[in-house]
């Protein structure tokens, strides 16, 4: 059985009892960064062995994990934070398991874009999750122009290095429309800002932006 296990996005208490039980009972935990996952495992006294499964070894390691599953081993797949398969290499292993007819299940939990969407107060009955916007300004503006016509709430992840540039481009495309920017969700310095892109950009620019951001338009 492949267990796809969602883990906390910040606060270590945000994990289900079922997830803790699964992580403690499987034969192996496949994780993006074993050092990062160890913090969670140590917090709950989980001694299960771990192995790295990340972007650059996902093909070779995926085949190895596949053979272990075929041999009858139970493996838990986790990401550094949140739900495996969303913007991480977890989807590679999930697809391998599907193609090989292996049994799997998902242990639900946190996802940062869901947290931000709920906190934004924007309509959530129909929304578009766009992952990370393009790195370059021209490509980013083009993408935003295309998505503008969808007429629904838009959700994006952004890094601290590009948040100011992305907000500038969002302002260029959407004008003064109110957006929500959330950072460090569930952590000690959680912050949710609701204002025009320019106002939020000016506020964040006062200090070097830190943390992981979610933008809701």
How is 98-152 classified by DSSP, letter by letter?
HHTT--EEEE----HHHHHHHHHT---SSEEEEEEPPSSHHHHHHHHHHHHTT-S
Q: Which of 64-68, 88-92, 119-123 has the lowest mean pLDDT?
A: 88-92
pLDDT-derived band at 164 (thresholds 50, 70, 90) equals very high
- DSSP H or E segment with residue 179: strand 179-183
Q: What is the pLDDT of residue 55?
A: 80
Structure token pair of residue 86: 């969303």
Whole-angstrom distance, CA of residue 24 vs CA of residue 18: 10
Helix, coil or strand: residue 194: strand
77, 53 in Cβ contact below 8 A? yes
Distance CA 67, CA 14 (A): 32
Q: Are 214 and 185 in contact (CB under 8 A)?
A: yes
Identify whether the C-beta of residue 184 lies closer than 8 Å to the C-beta of residue 10. Answer: yes
Q: Which two tokens stand for residue 11?
A: 């606060």
Alpha helices by DSSP H, the chain: 17-25, 34-43, 58-70, 90-99, 112-120, 137-148, 163-174, 197-205
Residues of the chain with CATH 3.30.950.10: 112-216
Residue in this structure with the two tokens 């996952």, named with its chain if needed: 37
Q: Coil, strand, or helix at residue 16?
A: coil
Tell me: the pLDDT tens digits for 16-60?
A: 999 999 999 999 999 999 999 999 999 999 999 999 998 878 888
pTM given for the model: 0.92
Can you tell me the distance from the alpha carbon of 150 to that of 163, in angstroms, rounded to the nearest whole number? 23
CATH number of 112-216: 3.30.950.10
Whether the predicted pLDDT of 102 surpasses 90: yes
Q: What are phi and psi of 29, to 5 degrees?
A: -115, 120
Which residues does residue 28 pair with via DSSP β-bridges, in sequence order?
75
Segments of the chain assigned to CATH 3.40.1010.10: 2-107
Give pLDDT, residue 80. Answer: 93
Average pLDDT of the segment spanning 98-118: 96
Class of domain 2-107 as given by CATH: alpha beta
Instruction: Report pLDDT for 59.
Output: 82
């Amino acid at each position: 059985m492949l267990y796809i296990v969602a883990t906390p996005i910040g606060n270590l208490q945000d994990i289900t009892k079922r997830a803790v039980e699964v992580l403690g009972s499987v034969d192996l935990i496949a994780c993006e960064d074993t050092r990062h996952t160890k913090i969670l495992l140590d917090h709950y006294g989980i001694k299960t062995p771990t192995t790295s499964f990340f972007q650059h070894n996902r093909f070779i390691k995926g085949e190895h994990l596949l053979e272990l599953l075929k041999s009858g081993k139970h493996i838990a797949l986790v990401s550094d934070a949140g739900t495996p398969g969303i913007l991480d290499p977890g989807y590679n292993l999930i697809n391998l398991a599907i193609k090989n007819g292996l049994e799997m299940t998902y242990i639900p939990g946190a996802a940062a874009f869901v947290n931000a969407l709920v906190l934004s107060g924007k309509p959530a009955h129909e929304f578009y999750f766009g992952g990370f916007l393009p790195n370059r300004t021209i490509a980013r503006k083009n993408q935003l122009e295309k998505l503008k016509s969808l007429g629904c709430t838009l959700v994006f992840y952004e890094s601290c290095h590009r948040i100011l540039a992305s907000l500038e481009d969002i302002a260029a495309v959407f004008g003064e429309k109110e957006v929500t920017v959330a950072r460090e969700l569930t952590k000690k310095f959680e912050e949710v800002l609701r204002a025009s892109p320019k106002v939020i950009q000016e506020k964040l620019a006062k200090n070097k932006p830190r943390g992981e951001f979610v933008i809701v338009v």
